[in-house]
Amino acid sequence: MNNVFYGKLIFELSREGRRGYSLPKNELASYSMTDMPNALLREQDPGLPEVDELTVVRHYTNMSNNNFGVDTGYYPLGSCTMKYNPKINEEIAVHRAFTGLHPLQDIDTVQGALEVYYKLQQSLATLAGMKEFTLNPYAGAHGELTGLMVMRSYHASRGDDKRTKVIVPDSAHGTNPASAAVCGLDVVVVKSRPDGTVDVDDLRPLLDDTIAGMMMTNPNTLGIFEHSIAEIAKLVHDCGGLMYYDGANLNPMLGKVRPGDIGFDIMHINLHKTFSTPHGGGGPGSGPVGVREGLEQFLPSPRVIRIDGDDDCYEYNIDFGKDSLGSISGFLGNFGVMMRAYTYILTLGRDQVKNVGPLATLNANYIKESLKDVYELPIEGVCKHEFVFDGLKDKSTGVTTLDVAKRLLDYGYHAPTIYFPLLFHEALMIEPTENESKETLDGFIDVMRKIAQEAKDDPEMVKSAPHTTPVRRLDDTKAALHPIVTYRELAAEQ
């Protein structure tokens, strides 16, 4: 690439004496350095890069252009990693009225923020069919742990200390068994039927008085609605267990089906997925936990409560309930993510929120049906917001799911989720989300078909993709086992 900025660190662009910024006059010039403890004094100037403004602008703009973003291209791995997040969410969340707040401020001075917090708790409870929510957990997995702690507190409060096991389907996201283990519970796996749903016959013999509860996501990680949910919930309740809903897949249910109405007692929502916060690359997140009536006293502290006043004038306060399981986060959680979620909910409103689920479902089925003659569809039928192919239909070319994912990069698309869930050898999971246009979906379908054809005509070319990206195919294992994360090491290697 013929660009002097390409692949360089800002330090390599540094030239002695070059300046792009003048610091304001030092108002403390008269302050004697001798008053400063020696340990705090610098012995030499910091090694900052010396660059002009234009170099800085080009350097960072070039870097940002090397990064794939939802503002520049389509992600076929949807709400789970990145769906489009309306800009208004950002504008509101970064408003100084909110970012300038400090969690230790006097309660009287943060009434507005507490009102937002309280109203978001209520909106989520309405959308999910739960009695109450805590917004304290920082992520989906953190919500799972919190929800399981509520489950444990519930059994402990009844003196039922035999219940030490949690049932998890073999199709579950890895965080489900991990959270159960972190919570000190033993994991019991229930098998799936060939159609991808929980095998009720396999479940029955697992149920006894050692079962604390069962974790499920619905639709499951294959995008299939668990149609036996009513029967499953009854079986688990009859044996004294509680039903936990992993709400990472709430998208297709939004405004249509409420977990609280189909038998779940405890749940979390990934605000950063369903309710629109950019989180690809690991953060930030928020995993509010909701509970049905009778479990709210176990939720973590602190909680925001409303004290009813006169003439529709309310005050908000912070409560530390005596039966609460205690604190699971610093202060009240990740407020910026909550602001984005609340803005998103208010922007959609009561009527539009009902369109999220059907549109996410329609888009997923449209792609599935348009590609299933060239990609292997292991589970036929109507899916919800996502579905899984088991690689290319024609296996004779030797082109794998990884190769298809890499080749997509050459066409300017982000790769879908690959090799998850673990039920299929060549899993390729596609989640288009509700907010992509038909033209975008058609463009993606065309490219996927083109790659299937290339796999037949020139398999070696597909197997060595990507060909047009700044970095070619990486050795994933080496990158994971021996990452070079410092400039010095990189320089020493060369």
Ligand X SMILES: Cc1ncc(COP(=O)(O)O)c(C=O)c1O
Return the closest-CA partner of residue 223 out of 4, 388, 68, 71.
388
How far from 33 is each of 27, 38, 76, 114, 163, CA to CA, in Å?
A: 14, 9, 58, 44, 65
Q: How far is the CB of 81 from ligand X (least distance, A)?
A: 8
List the one residue from 132, 246, 386, 403 that touches ligand X (CB under 6 A).
246
Torsions phi, psi of 472, nearest 5? Answer: -80, -165
List the one residue from 89, 217, 365, 401 that touches ligand X (CB under 6 A).
217
Q: In what order do the strands lie in the sheet with 266-269?
A: 132-134, 289-291, 266-269, 242-247, 211-216, 165-169, 186-190
Neighbours of 385 (CB within 10 A): 30
List the one residue from 89, 134, 249, 343 that touches ligand X (CB under 6 A).
249
Biggest CA pair distance of the chain: 81
Q: Which residue has the tokens 């950002």?
A: 90
List the one residue from 146, 221, 324, 400 that touches ligand X (CB under 6 A).
221
Nearest residue to the partner ligand X, using Cβ: 140
Question: What contacts 493, CB < 8 A, 6 or more positions away?
Answer: 484
List the one residue from 139, 269, 399, 404 that touches ligand X (CB under 6 A).
139
Angle between helices 140-157 and 175-182 (to 10 degrees): 40
Q: How far is the CB of 147 from ligand X (least distance, A)?
A: 11
Q: How far is the CB of 176 from ligand X (least distance, A)?
A: 7
**175 binding ligand X? (CB under 6 A):** yes
List the one residue from 13, 51, 77, 80 that touches ligand X (CB under 6 A).
80
Query: What x/- string results for residues 361 through 400 when contact with ligand X is judged by CB under 6 A?
Result: ----------------------------------------
Number of residues that bind ligand X (CB under 6 A): 14
Q: How far is the CB of 221 from ligand X (least distance, A)?
A: 5
Return the closest-CA partner of residue 103 out of 271, 344, 340, 336.
336
Q: How far is the CB of 223 from ligand X (least distance, A)?
A: 11
**145 binding ligand X? (CB under 6 A):** no
C-beta separation of 344 from 124 below 8 A: no
Distance, CA of 436 to CA of 78 (rounded, Å):
10
Which of these segments, 145-153, 241-249, 329-337, 351-359, binds ligand X (CB under 6 A)? 241-249
**219 binding ligand X? (CB under 6 A):** no
Q: Which residue, 405 or 452, has its beta carbon nearer to ligand X? A: 405
Which of these segments, 134-142, 236-244, 295-303, 384-392, binds ligand X (CB under 6 A)? 134-142
Angle between helices 111-128 and 335-371 (to 10 degrees): 30
Which of these segments, 21-29, 246-254, 367-375, 404-412, binds ligand X (CB under 6 A)? 246-254
Distance, CA of 403 to CA of 422 (rounded, Å):
18
Q: Which residue, 69 or 174, has its beta carbon nearer to ligand X? A: 174
Q: How far is the CB of 171 from ligand X (least distance, A)?
A: 9
Question: What contacts 31, CB < 8 A, 6 or more positions away?
Answer: none
List the one residue from 59, 83, 152, 173 that touches ligand X (CB under 6 A).
173
Q: How far is the CB of 68 from ligand X (least distance, A)?
A: 18
Distance, CA of 15 to CA of 30 (rounded, Å):
31
Q: In what order do the strands lie in the sheet with 387-390?
A: 387-390, 427-430, 417-418
Q: Which residue, 138 or 413, has its beta carbon nearer to ligand X? A: 138
Q: Which residue, 291 or 452, has its beta carbon nearer to ligand X? A: 291
Residues that bind ligand X (CB under 6 A): 80, 139-141, 173, 175, 217, 221, 246, 248-249, 270, 285, 287
